[in-house]
């Protein structure tokens, strides 16, 4: 669950019970994928940036570069502890506090 009015990983919660999701205003809930696609056993997300300049006619420009963010601990489907944020979340603002975080020098 993620608050709709926050950024930089603030307020993100991984919950296991439906009762934790119900009646939560101003939160976006996503279903957890139990068998995620991995790169070298790490969870990741991929962002591709586009600009829509017209809908009729449809005109879309895609930026040549994208962004990939990785978790800092290897994913293991046997680890069910949702409190291990560095396994389950790919947010930079969360993972920069991990002991295994490696800063990109480029």
For the chain, give every domain's residue range: 2-95
pLDDT tens-digit readout, 65-77: 999 999 999 988 7
Pairing of strands 44-55, 58-70: antiparallel
Residue with tokens 């139990």: 34
| Other beta carbons within 10 Å of 96 | 12
d(CA 57, CA 52): 11
Whether 102 shows a pLDDT value over 90: the answer reads no
**What mean pLDDT is predicted for residues 39-62?**
95
Beta carbons within 8 Å of 3's beta carbon, 6+ residues apart: 10, 11, 12, 26, 27, 28
The fraction of the chain above a pLDDT of 90, given in percent, is: 40
Whether 100 shows a pLDDT value over 90: the answer reads yes
């Amino acid at each position: 669950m993620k608050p709709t009015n926050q950024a930089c990983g603030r307020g993100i919660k991984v919950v296991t019970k439906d009762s934790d999701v119900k009646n939560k205003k101003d939160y976006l809930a996503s279903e957890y994928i139990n068998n995620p696609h991995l790169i070298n056993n790490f969870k990741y997300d991929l962002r591709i940036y586009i600009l829509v300049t017209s809908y009729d006619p449809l005109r879309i420009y895609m930026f040549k570069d994208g962004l990939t963010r990785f978790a800092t601990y290897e994913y293991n489907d046997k680890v069910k502890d949702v409190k291990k944020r560095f396994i389950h979340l790919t947010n930079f603002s969360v993972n920069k506090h991990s002991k295994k975080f490696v800063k990109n020098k480029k």
